[in-house]
Structure 1
Amino acid sequence: MTSNCPELLRTQAAWRLPALLWLHLCALLLLASWLWPTGRGLWDLLDKQAFHLLNGSLDLHPVWAGFWAITSVRTFDLLAAGLMLLLILRKDWLFSQGERFHALFTFIGLLGALLILRVLFARLVEAYDWQHSSPSLMIDGSLRLSEQFPWLAEHMDLKDASKRSFPGDHASVLMLWGAFLALFARGGKLALILLLTLFLMLPRLVAGAHWLSDDLVGGVILTLLAFAWGYCTPFAELFASSMLRLANPILKRLPSWV
């Protein structure tokens, strides 16, 4: 199977130093805004207001709370991951027959970069004591979905709290996916990708598993760095090309409707 990827998808296995430096600068400035006392005060205020708005809405109606409880279980995460992969692999939605597996392996390469950076960033977080608990564990009067829906908490691993909520790992994966597909989408498809990314980030925020800054600071920093090292260096392209060579015998045997 030959790849007919557009120039944007075929990342050229080259270093893109200006973009690499800009992404690192943006990540550094974002972190500085969170560490700077005045900026931290604004982030803390935004965190509390967002939490009270989102988590407080769970008291509006049992059906509303039930919806967010269902979207906060691990099974829903698997369904969301399946949808994310489907939008990459669906023929001629964003990528043609010859492009879609290249796109899939490129995205997996980006996820690999994200995983490596997450491990390194976690050490930095621990070293400088930036870690904190979820708002559901720190704010009195929080509405806990695990208490409202104990069956889901017991049997389906409902996520509404964590003692280590920074950074937002779940959000960083979603934002990396959204940023990657946004390179190729236009018009309604771009709007759909952005809205889907935002929607899939909301359950953890509504349930109180993460502060808003866990996502908009920690998650965005990881996304920027993963995009920098995955897409602005040879890493993702070399990974995708290697995987395509290995998978080519299997891909050639796939039925035409796949």
Structure 2
Amino acid sequence: MIPQIRLPDPPKGFAFNVERVESPRFDVRVAGNAAVISILGVIGDQATAASVSAALKQIGSKPVRLELNSIGGDYFEGSAIFNLLRQHAAGVTVQVLGIAASAASLIAMAGRRIEIAKNAQIMVHRAWLVAAGNTATMTEAAEFLARVDQALAEVYAARTGQAVTKIAAMMAVETYLTASESVALGFADKMLAVDGQPAVKALAGGPRDLRDMEASFRRVGFSRAEAKRVAESAWPVTHRESPELSNLVARITQATNDLRKGSAP
């Protein structure tokens, strides 16, 4: 059986980046003995451990089919969702319909059976977060990420039968696997006979509302209290007088994303 994943406790002030995507969707459908959970978006947005836990309580003892199309998101939410799904007594069949990347690829590994659409992909890479601080903070961040990466590699290795060292090497270079490669390497059990959905796309731009602005500040290193205070004081100005602060947050978010892309091998 795939082991439960236990991520190390996060250092204070660090957060995983959670992007917004076009038309996110999380829903649960139960009819007769069939139950379907759809995660079409970002892990940590609508798809959280709390929402999945509530869905599984609603489903009860029925087997679950999980439809997955996600670029990833928060690894802590992803690991909690993984543990919830792997513990579901009736079992979970995962169907990767577009992409299962980053934290979403971890969730996919919870399936007793994993199926992937012909043109879908699974992506594994090293965990990535936002941190701000001095050399001690950055050293702590690096050590924390190394422990997260090791925990992830062990889960992938247990599910696929590949060596942990091979999985770690794949994560180091951010590996995208086609459907056939996913099956060949053990990341999936079967290729579906249908074409999948287009992969979900991340959105650019400024915050949609006060909560989104607060999340933007959290993603670039503000504590929860600091982000809440700054967002609450800035939001009325942004919307009554000028777009400057909204544009600033958008530029900060874009710079963070550019840094993320630039750090990839």
What TM-score do the two structures reach when normalised by structure 2? Answer: 0.27
- Bigger relative contact order (CA 8 A; separation at least 6): 1
Greater Rg, structure 1 or structure 2?
A: 1
| Structure with greater helix share of residues | 1
